[in-house]
Amino acid sequence: MTGGLENIRLYSKLDLEEWISILYEVDEKKRFGSSARLIASVMGSSPSELAYIARKVERTGVDGIEMGLACPMGEGPAVVAGDPDKVYEYVKTACDAVSLPVSVKLSSSCANLPLIVRACIMAGAKGVSAIDTVRGILSIDIENMKAGLPTYGGYSGAPIRLIGLSTVAGIAQTSSIHVVGIGGIENYVNLIEYIMAGASAGAVGTGILLRGYDAVSEIVEGFDRWTGEQGIADIEDIRGAALSSLRSFEELKVESKVAQTCITCQDSECGKCVSCCLDDAVTFDGVVSINKERCTGCGLCISICPENRLRLVWK
């Protein structure tokens, strides 16, 4: 999967006062007559610092504040996001300091996500964002025996979408708090996926870096077109719609299936389905054939076929 970015960038070269000045300017000059809402994302190394920053930002006229507690770079807020008691302290202090709605940006790596979300709710948060970037190492230079980047970075974009969807669904299944789905939203389909997983909204970051701000308008236009075609007037009609199809592993019913060709394949240059089958059930002799006695129905060949020429059927 392409479209991922690894970064260790600083969030800004501007100091707090410069940001405050910009936010005042945005509110006074650029939002006149606009229905857009502005949410300021802030970070701090202690509850009191977060409260101080939140109060300063609130005076600029923003509509909400997002607290970043899950940045994978550094050892500050990153260690907070997995501790319910610390999360409660940080969020409660910030919520008490301002009258604006406060949301909390969470990580996918929290050991007990329901407890973390519960701490956010009890502390007064009105929403959560999920997920922040995933901690990773870009590469290892094996010749020089050095890491590709000098510290751990944050991985973002399309490859982390499955992690983001899982995290959002887990939050939605265990709480009623509003969730902003983040991670790999490249098009309107991805946005709808997040909404059907339980999100109330979606956010785009890496998509803008790779394609520019047009990525946002394309997603919004596609979303409006699709919902119009489906006769959906309110996202609440589809929010969380996919959750009923998600069950615990223990609840799954074991069903015997086998693969078969749904479209005749004579592509001798491909052979992916043959080489990937660990049960030697797929062969090629002019056309792709599947031995039903050998096939275990794992579905790997279906997933790897670039032309969707295979399918699973009841055994």
Q: Which residues are the active-site residues?
A: 71
- Tokens 């909204």 correspond to what residue? 201
* Secondary structure element (H or E) that encloses residue 182, with its range: strand 178-182
CB-CB neighbours of 58 under 10 Å? 18
CA angle 171, 218, 185 (to 5 degrees): 25
Angle at 255 between CA 294 and CA 190, to 5 degrees: 105
Sort strands 140-141 and 146-147 into parallel, antiparallel or unpaired.
antiparallel
CA distance 108 to 156: 12
Q: Which of 122, 124, 197 is nearest to 161 (CA)?
A: 197
Task: State residue 136 phi and psi, 5-degree precision.
Answer: -160, 170
Neighbours of 51 (CB within 10 A): 19
The two three-digit tokens of residue 247, written as one number: 């069950």
Local structure of 312: helix, strand or coil: strand
- The answer to whether the CB of 154 falls within 8 A of the CB of 9 is no
**Nearest alpha carbon to residue 82 among 44, 102, 90, 127:** 90
